Every structure is written in C-alpha cells, then in structure tokens.
Structure 1
Amino acid sequence: MGTRPLGRMLLCQEEEEENTEASVVPTPLGPLRETYCQKHSEKIYFFCKTDAEFLCVFCRAGPAHRTHSMGFLDEAIRPYRDHLRSQLEVLRVKRDKIENIKCREDQKLQGLLALIENKKQQVETAFERLYQELGDQQRLLLARMRGLEQQIWKERDEYITKVSKEVAQVEAQVEELKQKCQRPGSELVQDVRVYQSRCEKTFVNPEAISSDLAKKILELHRKILILPDMMKTFSENLVQHLETDSGN
C-alpha cells in the first residue's frame, strides 16, 4: 500500500496478506516539499483514486493497486491547492474589506476628534468674548459711576460755596442790625424802614443736587437694580442650555 492523504503514509505492501503492519508518518527524504515512500525510499508520483493513497513507482506496480484507477500526484492535489487558493482569495478579500472598514471608521473617528477640537476652540472663543464683553460693560458702568461721583462732589462743593456765601451775607446783616439797634430812636425808625425793604428779599435755597444729576443717578440706579436678576437669569439659561441632552 502507498500513503494516505493529509500527511499520513502507509508502507506499500507487495502482498495482500502483509496488510497488518502499522502505518507510519511519511519521511521527507528529498528536496523541500517532496515526500518519499518510507518503504522504497522513492519519490511519490501517483495517487490511487480507488484507495485515496499516494504511491511511488513500486507501490503502483504492486498487486494491491495494480488494477486500481491511478492519477499523477500533481493532478490529485490540484483540487486541494485550488481550494486553498480560493480560500486564500476569500481571506484576502475579507482582509481588504476589514482594512477598508477600519480605514473608514478611523477617518470617522479622526473627523469626530477634529470636530470636538474645533468646538473646544469655539467654546473658548465664545467665553473669552463673553468675559471681554462683561469686562467692558463692567468698566463702562464703573466709569459712569465714578463720573457721577465726581459730579456729586463738584455740585456739593458748589452748593457749599453758595450756602456759605448766603450765610455770610445773613450774618453780616445780623451784625449790622445789632449795631443799628444801639442808635437813637429817630435814626432807628428810619433804619427800620430801609432794612424792612431789604429783609423782604426772599432767600433762595440752592439745590444740593441738580435735577439733571438726580435724573442720571436714578437712571443708573434702575439699571443696577435689575442687574443681579439679569445675571442670574442668564447663568441659569446657560446652564440649562448646556446640560440639556448632555447625557450626564
């Protein structure tokens, strides 16, 4: 008997009654990829289609396979080789498909990473602009308040100057009247008539703060009064907008 496919070889027997010998692994005695019959040390060229065994020339001439249908080894293994090549092509196609999917998905991931990076920059830019705008408005508001402070101090000084001048005038008149009270009766009557007309002049009390300044202060007060609520509402709306559908 010759050798069986799939890597196991049986010694070819010249007599049918010697079939009781154990099978052995074929021994590669020749060049690479060539298998030799272990019994005859001959290269295997044939394939017994009846017994599905590989045979050397001596095995083929033996009585065990003499009447069997024969074929050359290359022809016998061709279907297996073609099958492996077909499977290899299938695997290559599958590998290429997987590589294409991997490349496409990697491009998607890179695109998403680029998108997130772009959105991070947009967020930073948006908040920087917000900080800048809030800072500008804060500086503008504080500048207006400092301007009002300066105007208040200016009108205060003007008011004090006017009132002090009026007080000085009144005090001068008081001292003058004290002196007149010490004069003789005839002169006193005449002085009373003169000073009566002078005292009838009404003292005009100047306003400490002008109506224009009071209007500006009131307008600023109204704007600042609702500022905390505006900031709170903006902050709450921003938090609600950013947390909506965030998945956290």
Structure 2
Amino acid sequence: MAAANPLQSLQEEVTCSICLEYYKDPVFTKCAHNFCRSCIAVCPEGSDSGVHCPQCREVCPEGELRPNRQLQSMVELVKQLAVQPGRALEQSLCEKHDEKQKLFCKEDEDLMCVICRESREHRSHTALPIDEAAHEYKGELQACLQSLKEELGDLLESKLKEEEGYKAMMKKLITDKLKMVAEFDGLRQLLKDQEETLLMRLEKMERSIKMAENANEGKYSSKISFISDLIAEMEKKCEQPPLELLKDIRRTLSRCRNATPHLSEGLKKKYKED
C-alpha cells in the first residue's frame, strides 16, 4: 500500500473521527482527544453528567470541554490550500508510474492510477473513482459508527442498571446491619436490666440470710451460755456432800428439767414421783 504523503497526513489531522469531516468548532477533552463540539455532544452520556470519549471511553464532563483554537486555525489553512475532505488523496502520486491516483481498487482496497488500472495486477479488479469509493466507504463507516454507538449505549445502560442494583443491595445491607445492631443493643439492654433485677433480688436475699444468721447467733448464744452455766452449777452440785447436795434439790432439778425439754418423759415422771 502506498505510503501516505504529507497532504494525506495533514487531512487526517484536521478530520473529525466521528463525522469524518473537517473539524467544526473543535474541542479537546481532558483525555486530550479532539472532536467537533456538535459531534461529541451527541455521544452517549456518562455517569457524571458528561459524555464518554469515543476513543478511550473515559467520562468527560461537559464543563471540561475546551475549544482548540490552534486546531481550528489548521483547518482554515487546509481549506485555503483547497484540500477538501475526500479529495486530498487525489493529490497523491503513484509510486510506480508517477501519476495521480484517481481510482480506488475495491479488491486490494488501495489507491491506483489509470496506468495501474490497465495493468495485469488490477485488470480484473473493480475500480471506482475516488469520490464514489469514498462516499461508499463513508456510508459503511457511518453505519458501523452508528452500530458501535448503539452497542456502547446498550453497554453503558446495562452497566448503569447493574450499578444501581449493587447500590440498592448495598443500601439494603446497610439498613439490615443498622437494624441488627439496634436489635442486639435492645437485647443487651434487656439482659442488663434483668441482670440488675436479679442481682438486687439476690442481694436482698443475702441481707435476709445474714440478718437471720445474726438473729440465730444471738438466740443460740444466750441459750448456750445459760446451759453452760447450768452444767457448771450441776457439776459443782454433784461434788457436794450429801447434806449440801440435797439442800434445795427440787429447785435445782426443776431448773435442769426446764432447760432440757428433750429429757425423756419417763425420767420426768420418775422425778415427779420422787
């Protein structure tokens, strides 16, 4: 394929990749790509109130589109050189025959001159004038471009729907998490209240037991002291001589019987008979 000459390169530099025409009011995006302002405006919208760059798919907020005045000046210079879209290639010369390439070979998809057309290599091929071939391929390119835009739009729409679905799931998850935390906080408070109630009840029971224990201690202490004194008195009485032992014996036995209620009835009857 013939190498592009400077005129061809210049035309490509000042041609919009969307409309395939010279730039009209060119703007450049934050990703450093150039488009006609009207062309980039109809591209699929992004997620940040902007547009997707057709070349790199980066989201470009509309407020960040800047006019490219230098590129506009280049377009005007090309127009002054009478280089029109679709015609700049006519100025290129055939490398083999040094003739203007005015025809396009559909089989080889390459430019050729009239001498190439009659050569054995291209004689059986379909040759079209450059304008006609450019118009035909431009239609195919625009159809492909429209299909790609629709595909991109569908992808972006699907992506947005899935993102909304994930956001909805995340929102529900956060709500459920907060609800669960609140429920467990309530359960913890309920358990704490029940714990405090039970502890108060147990402390009350503990105080009651200690009071009963103290009362019991006092009750038995006095009785134990009385019985101990009485035992000492009885032991001393038993060691006395007969006359002393029998002296006031009834009152002594009565005190003993009253202090020992568990004494057998038979023994009590014996003492009463005596």
Scaled by the length of structure 2, the TM-score of the pair is: 0.44
TM-score by length of 1: 0.48
